[in-house]
Amino acid sequence: MNDARPRKRSLTLHGHRTSVSLEDAFWIAFVDLARRRQMSVNALAAQIDRERGISAGLASAIRVAVLRDLQAAAKV
Domain map (residue ranges) of the chain: 25-75
| 11-44 per-position pLDDT tens digit | 999 899 999 999 999 999 999 999 999 999 999 9
Any idea what DSSP says for residue 63? H
Q: Residue 45: its pLDDT value, please?
A: 97
Selection from 44, 14, 13 nearest residue 30 by Cα = 44
66, 29 contact by CB (below 8 A): yes
- Rounded to an integer, what distance in angstroms lies between the CA atom of residue 47 and that of residue 60? 14
- Rounded to an integer, what distance in angstroms lies between the CA atom of residue 17 and that of residue 32? 21
